[in-house]
A and B are shown apart, each in its own frame.
Chain A
Amino acid sequence: MSNHLKVAIMTCEVFKRQMMENQDYLMDQEMVHHVNNCPSCQRYAQGVSQLFEVIQTEKSLSPSPFLHTRIMAALPLKDTYPERRYVSGLKPVLVAACLLLMIGIGIKTGSYFPVNEVFNSKTWEMVYFDDASIEGLEFLTLE
């Protein structure tokens, strides 16, 4: 088949399909001939070239050079040790046990102080202020 005949049979549908399949955006002779004579396919070719261009631009973007550091900093590295995991599982139990122990120690310590001694009215201070027997009211009123 001659080239001239090939050019003649290329339809818009074939052109469009070939354009999308063609990742390098290279047109062969018959495609060039078709696009030169078809305004609709010219607009289409423009659209496809824009599509590939934007994809290429987005693909060529490289991540920030600090991304690796950022990722490594965000990793919970310490939690990966099995011993650590075991401890972290027991943590609430340990906290509760410590709390109970502290309450127990508090109660035990409190029980060493006899309640009667603290609130007894017959302490030496109270006796000292109870001076009614030394200086009676009758004595004052007589004067």
Chain B
Amino acid sequence: VLCNFLNVVTKEKGNEFVKVDNEACLMDDSLIISRINSGEPAQYSILVKKYQSMIFRTCMGLLHQREDAEDVTQEVFVKAFRAIGSFKGDASFSTWIYRIAVNEALTLIRRRQRERMLRRLGSWVGFAKEQEDFSVERLTQHESDPESLMIKDEQTRWVNRVIDELPERQRIAFTLSRYGDLSQREVAQTMGLTEGAVESLLQRAKQNIRKKISVDGKNK
């Protein structure tokens, strides 16, 4: 009813874009999914609009690279679309899609680790040169001063390393909580754990970060 009311209001204003966005925010996910399953696949666009930023943010937290995060976000939505027929609705769509996102991001991280290891092995044997990871995004930042850009780059790398060195489950819990802004309950649902277990994971993650910052601070 609220959607229809908004449709009327926005039609009067002649603003189609606002109408779609309002629908996206207000329509129930299960209703959209049932429409998709009954032969209206274009309805999936609403779900993409609704969740793409959140998924992208979580992927950024795990991958730290815009290009990778966008690729994984795309892959997540394609996978979710293919499997939407099997979505039973036991958990919310957001929980389900977050779970796919975390799995996809971890798969990419593992692949990258394997590639890095092979590259390192190649450089030891003498086949390939070991290269530093380089992102174009770092060059498009606003600092015009090369020194400040370098310092900032170094800081970003350090922070990313601190987060990446956390054990996998702590890292997922920390990322979902800090980047995805999920509550402990939502993190627990996404990871298939109890709220208590998530709280413990978050505490240990913070403790590890604290130790890492203290140690690195002493070495600086």
Contact = CB atoms under 8 A, between A and B. Distances in A.
B8 interface: no
A70 B60 contact: no
A17 B207 CA distance: 8
Contacts of B209: 20, 51
Contacts of B159: 50-51, 54-55
Given A54-B155, A71-B78, A75-B44, A64 B218 contact: no
A47 B64 CA distance: 18
Interface in B63-120: 64, 66, 69-70, 73-74, 77-78, 81-82
Interface string A47-81: 11011011101110111100110111011110011
Interface string B126-155: 000000000000000000000000000001
Given A54-B155, A55-B178, A58-B61, A71 B74 contact: yes
Contacts of A68: 45, 48-49, 52
A61 B41 contact: no
A77 B42 CA distance: 8
Interface residues of B, number: 41
A71 B53 contact: no
Contacts of B81: 75-76
Interface of B: 36, 39, 41-42, 44-45, 48-49, 52-53, 56-57, 60-61, 64, 66, 69-70, 73-74, 77-78, 81-82, 155-156, 158-160, 162, 178-179, 206, 209-210, 213-214, 216-218, 220
